[in-house]
Amino acid sequence: MTVPFALRPLHAGFGVEVLGCTPGETAKDESFPALYDAFLTCQLIVFRGVAVAREAQVALARRFGEVQVHVMDQYHGVAGLPELYHLSNLGADGRPDGRHTRTRARSTGTPTARGATAPARRR
C-alpha cells in the first residue's frame, strides 16, 4: 500500500511533520493507519501551513477516538461543531483584555530613549 504523504522528523524520537497531504486526506481509510502509526511512534503530528476546514479537523480527530466536548458551552467556538474550542485573551474589541494574565506590567514613569515608559523591574 502506498501512503500519499511523507513524514519529516522534527526531533529525534519526538514529533513528525506531514508533507504532501492535508489533514482531511489523512483521515481517509487508506491513509489513516500510517498517520496513526506515526502518532504512536512520534507522539506529535504537525501539518504546517495548510488551511484546514473545520469539519475535516473534527473528522480527523474522531479517527483517533472519541472527542471530548467541553462541558462549558461558552468555549464552543463553532456552531454545530462543539468539538472545536475557542480560547482567547482578546476582548470584544479584538485587543488583549489582560484578564487572563497573572501579572501586569507596571510603569516606573521613567522615560526610555524613544520617549516611551519603561516597565517596572521586579526586585
Residue 99: band (very low, low, confident or very high) from pLDDT cuts 50, 70, 90: low
Q: Looking at the predicted structure, is the pLDDT value of residue 21 above 80?
A: yes
Q: To 10 degrees, what angle do helices 54-64 and 32-42 make?
A: 70
Looking at residues 108-123, what average pLDDT do you find? 45
Q: List the chain domain ranges.
A: 6-91
Residue 2: band (very low, low, confident or very high) from pLDDT cuts 50, 70, 90: low
CA–CA separation, 88 and 106 (whole Å): 23
Residue 32: band (very low, low, confident or very high) from pLDDT cuts 50, 70, 90: very high
Report field, pTM of the whole predicted structure over 0.75 = no
CB of 61 closer than 8 Å to CB of 67: yes
